[in-house]
Amino acid sequence: MHGLSAVFEKEFRDHCGSRRFMILFALICLAGLSAVYVAAQSIRSDLSSDSSTEFVFLKLFTSSSGVLPPFLAFISFLGPLVGLALGFDAINSEKNSGTLSRLLSQPLFRDSVINGKFLAGLATIALMLASIMLVISGLGLKLIGVPPSLDEMVRLIAFLLITIVYVAFWMAVSILLSVLFRQAATSALAGMALWIFFAFFMPMIAGIIANVVVPMNADPDTLTLLRHENVSQMASRISPTTLFQEATVTVLTPGIRTLGPVLVRDVIGMIPSPLSVTQSLLVVWPHMVGLVALTLICFAASYTKFLREEIRA
Amino acid sequence: MGERAFTETTQTSKPGLALPVDETGAPLIVHTSDLTKAYGDFVAVDRLNFSVREGDIFGLLGPNGAGKTTTILMLLGLTEPTAGTMRVCGFNSTRDPLNVKRIVGYLPENVGFYEELTGRENLQYTARLNGIPAQEAERRIESSLAQVGMLEAADKKAGQFSRGMRQRLGIADVLLKNPRLVILDEPTLGLDPDGVNQLLDLIVRMSRQQKITVMLSSHQLHQVQQICDRVGIFVKGRMVAEGNIEELWKQTLKGRRLIIEVQAVPQGQQTVTALQGIEGVEAVERSGEMLLLSCNRDVRDKIAKAVGDAGAALLHLRLLEHGLEDIYFKYFREG
C-alpha cells in the first residue's frame, strides 16, 4: 500500500502548491465572498420589513439582489472548471515527460497510480470547497448576525457533499480525457467542450427533443403540455449540470417540494410549509445517486483504459 | 508464494530467488525461452532466447525498431509476452512483476523527472514508492548522488537539468533501490562524446564496485562495445548473434579483408617491400602520409617487427574501425 499513499501524498502536495489551484481558489473565494456580501445586504433590508428569519442563513447562498448572481450559480459555473483543471493532464503529461515509465518501473501496482491521482484530486476538491464554505459562512454570520439552525447546517453539509461529488465528476471526466488523448491541450479543450455542451446546449437540445417526441400544436391541451414538459425535463437530466442544479437548489431551498411541473389541482389545500431536511434529501436522492454513478463510470473507464495500455518510453 | 520466496533469500547480499545456471555453472540473472511479442500481425520479438550472466555488462545491440525496448518492457513485466517465458532474478516477470521491479532498476530511453521538483525531491519520491524508510532513504540518496557526481546540482529544479545530468540523476534514481540488475535503455542517446564517456565510466564503476549486473540496449555499437562483457545482436525481433565481442568480431572477419593503417619513418620502398613480405598482406597502397595494408587476417602483431627489420621506425599503427561496423552491417543485412 505504500505505493498508493506515496502517489497520493505527492499528487496532493502538487495540487495544493500549483499555480492553477491558487488561481481557481482565489477566483472562487472572491466570487463567493462578493456574492454572499451582496446577498447579505439585500437580506438585511428585507428583514426589517418582513420579520421572518426562517432559513435566512440559507438565503445567503441562494438569493441575489440582481447585481451579482448567488453563490450557488457561481459554484455551478466554476465548479466544473476546478474539476477539469485538476485532472486534464493527470496521465498524458506524465507520459509525455517520460516520468510515467519511470514511475511504473517502481514496485507498485499500476492502479495505485490512477487511484492515488483520483483520491488526491478528490481530497484537494474537498479541502478547497470546505474551506471556501467556511470562510463565506463566517462572513455571512458576521453580516446578518443570525446563526444557522441545525436544519440549516445539515442542508449546508449536504450541499457541500453534492458539490464535491459534482466537481469530482468533472475531474473524473478530465482524467478519462487525459488517458484517451496524448496531448494535454487536446484533453483540456475536449473537457471544456463537454462542459459548455452540458451547461449551455443541453437545455436547448432538451427542448428540441421534447418538440420531436411530443409535437405541440398552436393550442395544446393540458395533457400534451404536461407530457412535453416532462420529456424536456428528463432529457435535460442527462446533463450532470442539470442534476447538480436541481439537487442543490432543492437542498438549499426548503420551500421546494417537488421538481417538475405542478398542477393547480395539486396545490389546492396544500399547507405552504417548508420540507424537513430528510424530505428534501429524499426529493434529490436520485440526483445524488446519478451524480455519484456518473463519476464512478468515468473513473472506471479511465481505470480500465489505463491498466490495459502499454506504456512505452 | 513469490513474497515468501523473496524473504527467504534476503540473507544473501542481494535478494532474489535461486538463479538458473548455464552449462558452465554461471548463474543467469536473465533467462528467456522462446519469448515472443506480437502486435496484431507484426511480430516485434520473435522466439527470443538469451541469457545474461550475473555480474556481466550485457549489451543488447540492434538498430532502431529491432524490438529492444519491447524486450525490456517484457523483462520488467510492463507488457505481457504473447508467448514464451522468462526469469529475471529468478522471478517470472509476467506473474510476479512487483518482485522483479523491487530488485531491478530501469532507466527508460527518455527518462523524465518532475520538473517542478528538485533532483533530490524526485529521488525522495522514488524512495517512498519503494517503501524505503525515511532515514535510510536519505542515506541512500546522499550516497547515490555522490556516486553520480550530482550532489551540488541535486537541489536545483529538475527542469533545469541538461540531458547528461538527467541521465546521471536517472542512474542515481536506479541505484536507490539497491538493485541486483540494472536495465538501461539507450543510455548514451543524445549525449555529447564527453557525456558518453562519463556515463560509460559510471556504468562500469557501478557494475564492478557494487556487483550489479547491467544490461544496456543501444544502436551505437562503437560506443558501448568497449564496456560490454557480452553482447547480443538483435535484428528484427531476433537475436542473430550472442557472445563475447572479440569472438563475434573474429567470426565476422573470417574470410574478409582487413585494412590496417601504418605510418613509418622513413617510409621508402624498402619499408613497403618489408610490409608486403608479411604473410597475409595482399597489397600496400599509399594514401597521403599513410600506408594502407589490405590483409586477409589481423597482422598487427607482425608489422612492428617488419618495419624495424627494414630499418625504419613505426609511428602509427591502426586497424581501421571498419571491422566493428562490419559486425553490425553483416548481421543487419543477414537479419
What tens digit of pLDDT does each residue of B9-39 get? 333 445 567 788 877 778 889 999 999 999 9
Residue of chain B with shortest Cα separation from A99? B112
**Which of A132, A78, A151, A87 minimizes the C-alpha distance to A114?**
A87
Distances (CA, A) of B24 to A134, A281, B27, B34, B214: 73, 75, 9, 21, 20
Q: What is the pLDDT of residue B4?
A: 38
- Domain holding B175, by residue range, is 2-243
Check if the interface score ipTM surpasses 0.95. Answer: no
- Closest partner residue to B78 (CB to CB) among A98, A99, A105 is A105
Q: Do B78 and A313 touch (CB under 8 A)?
A: no
Interface with chain B: mutation pick from A2, A103, A105, highest number of B CBs within 10 Å = A105
Same domain (yes/no): B49, B69: yes
The 10 Å Cβ neighbour count of residue A289 is: 11
Give the per-residue pLDDT at B256: 66
- Please tell me the total number of residues recorded for chain A in this structure: 313
User: Is B248 contained in some domain?
Assistant: no
Q: Which domain holds residue A71?
A: 2-308
What is the pLDDT averaged over residues B242-267? 77
From A310's Cα to the closest Cα of chain B, the distance in A is 6
Chain-chain contact of B101 with A311 (C-beta, under 8 angstroms): no
- Cβ of B78 within 8 Å of Cβ of A310? The answer is yes
| Residues B85-107, mean pLDDT to the nearest whole number | 91
Residue A146 lies in a domain: yes
Chain A residue numbers with beta carbons less than 8 Å from the beta carbon of B185 are 313
Asked if the Cβ–Cβ distance from A98 to B128 is below 8 Å, we say no
Mean pLDDT of chain A: 89
Facing A98 at nearest CB: one of B98, B112, B128: B112
Give the integer Cα–Cα distance in Å for A143 and A37.
Answer: 8
For A12, half-sphere exposure in the C-beta direction (CA atoms, 13 angstrom radius) is 17
Question: Residues B218-237: pLDDT tens digits?
Answer: 888 777 778 888 888 888 88
Q: Coil, strand, or helix at residue B193? A: helix
Q: How confident is the model at residue A313 (pLDDT cuts 50, 70, 90)?
A: low
A313 falls within a domain? no
Last residue of a domain, one of B211, B243, B275: B243
The three cell numbers of residue A125 are 476538491
Q: Tell me, yes or no, whether B55 and B111 share the same domain.
A: yes
Task: Nearest chain B residue to A9 by CA: give it.
Answer: B125
Beta-carbon separation of A313 and B102 below 8 A: no
For residues A132-142, average pLDDT: 91
Asked whether residue B3 carries a pLDDT value surpassing 60, the answer given is no
- Of B188, B215, B243, the residue that ends a domain is B243
B79, B106, B111 ranked by CB distance to A310: nearest: B79
| Position B166 pLDDT exceeds 50 | yes
What is residue B23's three-state secondary structure?
A: coil
Is B335 a residue whose pLDDT tops 50? no
Residue A39 pLDDT grade (very low, low, confident, very high; cuts 50, 70, 90) = confident
pLDDT tens profile A204-248 = 899 899 989 888 887 888 888 888 888 998 899 889 999 999 999
**pLDDT higher than threshold 60 for residue B309:** yes
Overall number of domains in chain A: 1
Q: Which residues of B touch A98 (CB under 8 A)?
A: 108, 110-112
Together in a domain, B147 and B237: yes
Return the pLDDT at B14.
53
Q: Cα-flanking dihedrals φ and ψ of residue B282, to 5°?
A: -100, -35
Residue A49 pLDDT exceeds 70: no
Chains A–B, number of C-beta pairs less than 8 Å apart:
75
User: Which of B101, B115, B125 lies at the smallest CB-CB distance from A105?
Assistant: B101
Q: Provide the residue type at A1 as one letter.
A: M
Contact B114 A9 (CB under 8 A): no
In a domain, B249, yes or no: no
Task: Please indicate whether residue B147 or residue B282 has the higher confidence score (pLDDT).
Answer: B147
State whether B118 and B235 are in the same domain: yes
Question: Are both B239 and B259 inside the same structural domain?
Answer: no
Q: In the prediction, which pLDDT does B328 show?
A: 67
pLDDT the model gives residue B10 = 36
Is the N-terminal amide bond of A203 cis, ω within 30° of 0?
Answer: no
DSSP for B77-110, written as a single string: TSS--SEEEEEETTB-TTT-HHHHHHHEEEE-TT
Neighbours of A177 (CB within 10 A): 27
pLDDT of res. B6: 36
Q: Are residues B219 and B258 in the same domain?
A: no
Q: How many residues does chain B have?
A: 335
Residue A275 resides in a domain: yes
Confidence of residue B183 (pLDDT cuts 50, 70, 90): very high
Q: Domain with B163 in it: what CATH number?
A: 3.40.50.300
Model confidence over B102-137: pLDDT tens digits?
999 999 988 899 999 999 999 999 999 999 999 999
Instruction: Note whether residue B217 is domain-resident.
Output: yes
Give the rounded percent of residues in chain B with a pLDDT score beyond 90.
39
Task: Give the mean model confidence (pLDDT) for residues B150-168.
Answer: 92
If one compares A126 and B312, the residue with the highest pLDDT of the two is A126
> How many separate domains does chain B show?
2
Q: What percent of chain A has pLDDT over 90?
A: 56
Interface test with B, best of A9, A18, A102 (most B CBs within 10 A): A102
Are B164 and B106 part of one and the same domain?
yes
Residues B134 and B269 in one domain: no
Cβ atoms of B207 and B228 closer than 8 Å: no
Quick one: closest CA in A to B115, which residue?
A97
Tally Cβ neighbours within 10 Å of residue B277.
12
pLDDT of residue A275: 84
pLDDT the model gives residue B327: 66
Q: Is the pLDDT of residue A1 over 70?
A: no
Q: Is B106 in the same domain as B237?
A: yes
pLDDT tens digit string along A70-107? 888 889 889 999 999 999 999 999 999 989 999 999 99
**Sign of torsion, CA A140 A145 A146 A150?**
positive
Distance (Å) from the C-alpha of residue A119 to the closest C-alpha of chain B? 17
Q: Select the residue of B110, B125, B185 nearest A10 (Cβ to Cβ).
A: B125
Instruction: Please indicate, yes or no, whether residues B150 and B85 belong to a single structural domain of this protein.
Output: yes
Does B116 contact A14 at a Cβ distance shorter than 8 Å?
yes
Is A111 contained in some domain?
A: yes
Indicate the SS3 state at residue B233.
strand
- Tell me whether residues B78 and A101 touch, CB distance under 8 A: yes
CB contact under 8 A, B69 and A98: no
- The share of chain A scoring above pLDDT 70, in percent, equals 97
pLDDT of residue B326: 65
Q: Specify the CATH number for the domain of residue B317.
A: 3.30.70.100
Instruction: Please indicate whether, in this complex, the C-beta atoms of B113 and A99 are within 8 angstroms of each other.
Output: yes
In a domain, B61, yes or no: yes
**Burial group, residue A15, by CB count within 10 angstroms (0-12, 13-18, 19+):** buried
Q: Where are the beta strands (DSSP E) in chain B?
A: 28-39, 42-48, 51-53, 57-61, 83-88, 104-107, 181-185, 213-218, 230-235, 238-243, 258-265, 281-287, 290-295, 313-319
A111 touches chain B (CB under 8 A): no
List CB contacts (< 8 A) between A14 and chain B.
114, 116
Tell me which residue of A26, A63, A71 sits closest to A46, measured CA to CA. A63
State residue A187's pLDDT score: 96
Confidence of residue A272 (pLDDT cuts 50, 70, 90): confident
User: At B244, which helix (H) or strand (E)?
Assistant: none
* The pLDDT of residue B316: 87
- Nearest in space to B2 (alpha carbons), one of B76, B102, B83: B102
Q: What is the pLDDT, as a whole number, of residue A115?
A: 95
